[in-house]
Structure 1
Amino acid sequence: MGLKIVERIDKDLQVLIPGFMDITHKEIKDLEQALVLGDMSVAARIGHNIKGSALNYGFVHLGDIGRRIESSAAQNRHKKVQAELEMLKDYVDRVEVTFV
């Protein structure tokens, strides 16, 4: 396991973060399924959702991953989306939230 990825999140959002992370885990599973099916439109939508919700909560690095997934899926770059999915999984494993 690599170093922790620290995200500084507004303390007012603290009660919402567990639910947000549960949704992120579901989106990972949905993205895996979209890749199995080769459905890049669904993959792009998931990337878009990850990007938007992550940035709304203040998860900057996660927002970047979502943006890259959305863009790569829109360009029908299956292998790039797969690589970003692996980055997403790694991120979720290593993220540590600091409430400020």
Structure 2
Amino acid sequence: MTMDELLHDPEFIELIKQYIDYLKSSVLEINTKLANGEYHDVMKFGHNIKGSGGGYGFMELTDLGKALEIAANDENKEECQKYLDLIEKFVQDKN
């Protein structure tokens, strides 16, 4: 199936909704972890969405995940927050 065909498949659409719900709850949790300086968890979240975003057709999310992973590896709180905010906006735009 092509991505265009998948976007019209009710089962795939349901998977996308579940993925967006996962992202929504995870962003809240990861924001707390960032505030506590838990960069390893922030980095893992970035890595996970870097890998999974494209599978749902969200290449922008893959790029944001990669950027978040790098920022967390560098323990750059401001950059991490910037990318988390962009991920949160992405999720809000999909709801």
The residue correspondences of 1:1-100 to structure 2 (distance < 5 A) are: 10-11=6-7, 12=9, 13-95=12-94
**By percentage of residues, which structure has more strand?**
1
**By percentage of residues, which structure has more helix?**
2
Answer whether contact 2:20 2:94 (CA < 8 A) is retained.
Answer: no
Q: Cα offset for 1:19?
A: 0.7
Answer whether contact 2:42 2:72 (CA < 8 A) is retained.
Answer: yes
Q: Percent identity?
A: 27
Structure 2 counterpart of 1:72, which letter? A
Q: Could you state the TM-score of these two structures normalised by the residue count of structure 2?
A: 0.83
Q: Could you state the TM-score of these two structures normalised by the residue count of structure 1?
A: 0.79
Q: Which runs of 5+ in 1 are unaligned?
A: 1-7
Superposed CA offset, 1:13-32 (max 9, x none): 21211111111112201211
Q: Which runs of 5+ in 2 are unaligned?
A: none
Q: Cα offset for 1:44?
A: 0.1
Superposed CA offset, 1:42-66 (max 9, x none): 1000111111111121111111111
Question: For 1:83 and 1:25, how far apart are their aligned partners in 2?
Answer: 16
Q: State the Cα RMSD in Å.
A: 1.8
Q: Aligned in 2, Cα 1:9/1:66: closer, same or farther, shift over 3 Å?
A: farther
Structure 2 counterpart of 1:25, which letter? K
Aligned length: 89
